[in-house]
């Protein structure tokens, strides 16, 4: 019985890692929460960083802030461990 329970837990962890469950790729949720590093998500993050930097440099105003995503901007430049 313990074996079965452990197997379920393992399967759940695997499904989360392999993207078995639904992941909205190309979003902050996928990149940060699901830690997805697929091409779509990486491209999204790269584009977001470019936009974020340009916006920060321009300082056009707080109304330009995105409605979704981090309020203080990305904390990590690279995802190197
Ligand atoms: Zn992805």
Q: How far is the CA of 8 from the centre of ligand 1 (A)?
A: 24
The rounded Å distance from CA 1 to ligand 1 centre is 35
DSSP secondary structure letters along 28-40? HIIIIIS---SHH
Spacing, Cα 23 to ligand 1 middle (Å):
7
Domain residue ranges in the chain: 24-60
Radius of gyration over every alpha carbon of the chain, rounded to an integer in angstroms: 17
pLDDT in tens, 8-66: 777 666 555 555 568 899 999 999 999 999 999 999 999 999 999 998 888 655 555 55
pTM of the complete model beyond 0.75: no
Expressed in angstroms and rounded, the spacing between residue 28 Cα and the centre of ligand 1 is 10
User: CA torsion angle for 31, 37, 42, 45 (degrees, to 10)?
Assistant: 20
């Amino acid at each position: 019985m313990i074996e079965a329970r452990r197997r379920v837990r393992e399967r759940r962890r695997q499904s989360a890692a392999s993207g078995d469950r639904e992941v909205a790729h190309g979003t902050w949720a996928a990149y940060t929460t699901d830690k997805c590093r697929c091409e779509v998500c990486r491209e999204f993050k790269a584009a977001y960083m470019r936009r974020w930097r340009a916006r920060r440099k321009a300082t056009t105003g707080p109304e330009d802030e995105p409605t979704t995503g981090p309020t203080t901007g990305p904390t990590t430049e690279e995802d190197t461990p």
